[in-house]
Chain A
């Protein structure tokens, strides 16, 4: 069992800070409860929580007491592991369970217990990371019994919920009866009740398949699949291929659907209507499905319109529950560290050179005062321990400020110039691109497992001399930093070899000393840009890692991949600090919040989730996309989030209120890249359809803010037409835009590979 705690000073500090240990566990329970049906949740599952009244009412409703149920789950997992001869995992799990139960009873025994466990336990991160090792040895199927809340650890048990026998011939009748009823109700209710069709259709079909009524299932599918919303096409396609009970095992999409409750939001009136109808008709079949597999989130007030519903639905598991988005999110920015001395120097320089001494001083003061006044929405400065600024970082900050003074103010009238970096001869192999913040370097990840770094400036890339040569240089000299560089190695580009599969994500560290890359081989690698060698390979995801991203303050980074878990890492730890489990499908993209306290993940389950780094909570779930999400961008002020998906739409979210506030339609293919300009006035989106589009984000946000938020329901009217927000469409020549970047002066850089 690896020991990680002793080296983790920062995270230990986190633990000491505002959150109590108990708190943490409660949080994990919640994660567990709404993270359903994937093996990642097993990680949560192995941590039996104290019998705290969980905030999530969505938890298994029929469970007698959370504690006993957890216990059962645990036994189920153990049984499963034993059956499959995962001896090591069983041991670990036992130990874990023992430790945690002890710790529940008394904090004092915790140390002793952890000593027994052979690992320095004592903070939740540690537990988490150990849980991860346990998880990874457990195949995805194991998750199902754990979540199912059943005693017997077998997949069949999960599916056995379908075993209730209704007459297969009647299914069509049930469904069309409901359909008739919904068509007959008042218009205002019809749209709401129509939401029922899709989940009912799927569950009824699956029941038929499960009970070996193949022909009936096919007929049912034939008859009603056409009625479903077009944005469920992808899932329907998967379903239609599935006609045998045997196929149901091991089909992940199906398991997701089975094990997670499909969430619908329906107004109280409509719900009453439905309930009355079903009771009158004695339609138990449908009523059972609703009871067992659907979660109906009832709200008081006006029923929603069709367009309102459409804008929010589309995700794999329905809409987000309203409670899921209630947690407070500190979306404000952190106070900028004050760099006094060098800034004064800079001012003097400015005086000498330009002869306008007064101009910069007040500006600095205003910035200072602004940052002194704590933003009420900002997290505490030390909520997440951040690395100390080094001298070089300070210099870089100064450079940044200098550049910022020359920044062009963008707006609908002054659009940015666009520079396009075309990757030539990439042979369809370019998979990821990143720029450094100062736009001096560009990195590309390639399908041939290489990462290539180019210098965009005339300054060539040099690596540090070898150790033997470094001994020879005069360490006292002023230009020692220059002397350590090996002139002979200077070249325009460097190739980094190390991965054994396509590289799907690259990310520069803010100080430009490191580069992260993640790959199909399941690892995230950290590269030094001083020596151009690999420093660390972070292993944890045992499946392809789709994206990785450095924190804006460095040190931390996030990764997410096919295993549906996002992991938070620190560069000096080889095991993750946090695991964010809850997505029902692959995590396709990750993004750090500008204040480094939150991360956003986009997933193939068509939801965006926002996670709190401090405690690992999922604090926001955004639904509304109709396809896998492939790009995310936070606005520079931290208030808004933009997400782009394969359906070509870009959605805007208000993080504080947890609402969708805009829909930008225009792209005709996957949006692979999103970026706000440095001041947040313009949102640029780059897509597979070979265009870059610029959107007026100020207007998009303002239009919403003038409305009074119906925050209670979260149902907002989106402007019908997003065309007036579109400021420009810029074509490339057969070059999908896969990365966008605003320079510090607001020049837009785009990158992509020419695709003949």
Chain B
């Protein structure tokens, strides 16, 4: 009864019942209403008591609408229409009458659809394990990591966040290091991830301050490296921040004294790191990155530093990216670059220096492209010899090539998986068949641009009108490939071979030798031999080179003069191991086990003589650059 003093239970007043009845079109007398009220209250209590059972068995503390509906259903009562909500629904009275209602706001679907803030998705249910208490000795502190989706920020976390950001962006370098290290290893900061990502997205506002940008990038690196963090869709945000550092003409780069190049290099390194470790979190990320890089590269209005960023970015994404974006774009870009480089006016000095930077970056990128391409082709061919079917070949060579420097193969693979839509060759063809430009042609073209600056050398059979060594060495291959010509080389090629050209090329005045000598020989004997021969060679070529260079000649005239762009016969590449040619049939020798392109390069000195251009981007220590070139031109800071 409404007038009972004791109010232990929720009660529905008589007036409410009458109102409800009225809304249903029934007039209730007082007596009926009173009786009905009492019954309603009782049934309500009964249903509540029954529903608590469902709550208990669901191991919850909160009674939900679902529980109540279930209780009603099992007592053969029609369930209340509607749906259960996780949150409590606000229950409001109307001032004028004794009417209560659940607030039910209208949702503007258009607004919802176009809203920029994407609602938090329902993350997948998962199980995480951690050792909470070792040997029964634990603290009484609450334990456990918690996903960001369900976390509210505790005071401790907030404090942590403030401390970390303050130390990273602050003055004390030591403090920064500690903070970064903690960020990298702390397992309990999942909840803070969005905050940190937000901080990092502030790169746009500090583009004048290289130091701050640097610190923010370091923060990205720490977050990316933290094994306990699940970056999820935040990857996209991080990538866009990093891309900003790579591509944008930062305010800081106005002053030529600022070393924004290093920042770009580091950002590119970071980009590739994010991509190869977390790229699978966002579908189509690879494609998007490539597109934006391409856009920048093909935009002549952009400053050179942006172009530089695009090139290093592509380089960091792997040789496939270079092949697909940079290489096709090179002829068009070359003209612009050359115009810059050929302008000797004083006013152009700064721009020209930038141009040299870009030139160097492109050079490094294409060099690795050539190297990796040759490597992948020969590796595939090797797999083919082993009798493996083609698709299996990839697997085979991946497994059997532990000696490879780590990045190349793994690099090529995910790139393909994700960006398979980039395959111009059409669907269905195995990836090793997709080579838009055959290696020799590519080499020719690149050589036409860079001349002897290219660190990679291939023996191109008819390089100087010599009798091509290829047909002699590989008669069967040649025969098969001859009819096809260069055009279908890519599909018909079975056994391309990379050679260091030591003992094949008889002459020393041709293309420089010894650059891509067989690295790290297996046997000491062959090592000695190869190194000695290469040193001999180098001394010879260095002695002969300067004389050959016509000083005034333009860049592209020079290489083209000695290079036959259209090889008469199919070029055969062979890779020399220990001074012996790696034949197609010598299965016993695993080519890739010996290929580690680090050792011999120590012998390669900077080839300032090779070109009239000052050497850019490969100053000093080619070895270190080479070993680290998987990701970047430069060493990490």
Contact = CB atoms under 8 A, between A and B. Distances in A.
Indicate, yes or no, whether A interacts with B: yes
Given A241-B9, A544-B74, A733-B142, A588 B57 contact: yes
B49 interface: yes
A425 B142 contact: no
Interface in B72-93: 74, 86
B46 interface: yes
A316 to B, nearest CB: 14
Contact of B59 (A422, A431, A586): A431
A694 interface: yes
Contacts of A543: 74
A244 B131 contact: no
Contact of B128 (A244, A422, A672): A422
A242 B122 CA distance: 43
A420 B62 contact: no
Contacts of A244: 38-39, 42
B129 interface: yes
Contacts of B66: 447
A424 B131 contact: no
Contacts of B125: 423-427, 429, 444, 446, 452
Contacts of B130: 419-420, 422
A756 B127 contact: no
A586 B6 CA distance: 31
Interface in B111-160: 122-138, 140-147, 149-152
A422 B129 contact: yes
Contact of A734 (B9, B45, B58, B142): B142
A754 B128 CA distance: 10
A520 B150 contact: no
Contacts of B57: 431, 502, 504, 544, 546, 588
Given A419-B130, A427-B122, A731-B140, A756 B150 contact: yes
Interface residues of B, number: 53
Contact of A731 (B6, B42, B122, B143): B143
B56 A630 contact: yes
B86 A414 contact: no
A672 B61 CA distance: 13
A446 B60 CA distance: 12
Contact of A688 (B61, B135, B137, B141): B61
B129 A754 contact: no
A207 to B, nearest CB: 19
B129 A730 contact: no
Interface string A627-649: 01010000000000000001000
B234 interface: no
A493 B86 CA distance: 26
Contacts of B46: 241, 251
A232 interface: no
B53 interface: yes
A416 B45 CA distance: 45
Contacts of A604: 53
B431 interface: no
A454 B64 CA distance: 28
Nearest to A428: B60
A732 interface: yes
Interface in A400-433: 414-432
B54 interface: yes
B56 A728 contact: no
Contacts of B150: 424-425, 754, 756
A733 B144 contact: yes
Given A414-B136, A520-B70, A628-B56, 12 more contacts: A247-B39, A418-B138, A422-B130, A424-B126, A425-B147, A427-B125, A428-B64, A504-B57, A688-B61, A732-B142, A738-B59, A754-B144
Interface of A: 222, 237-238, 240-244, 246-247, 251, 414-432, 442, 444, 446-447, 452, 454, 456, 493, 501-502, 504, 520, 543-544, 546, 562, 586, 588, 604, 628, 630, 646, 670, 672, 688, 694, 727-736, 738, 750-751, 754, 756
Interface of B: 6, 8-9, 38-39, 41-42, 45-46, 49, 53-54, 56-62, 64, 66, 70, 74, 86, 122-138, 140-147, 149-152
11 contacts: A241-B45, A246-B39, A419-B129, A419-B132, A430-B59, A444-B127, A447-B58, A493-B127, A520-B54, A733-B142, A756-B150
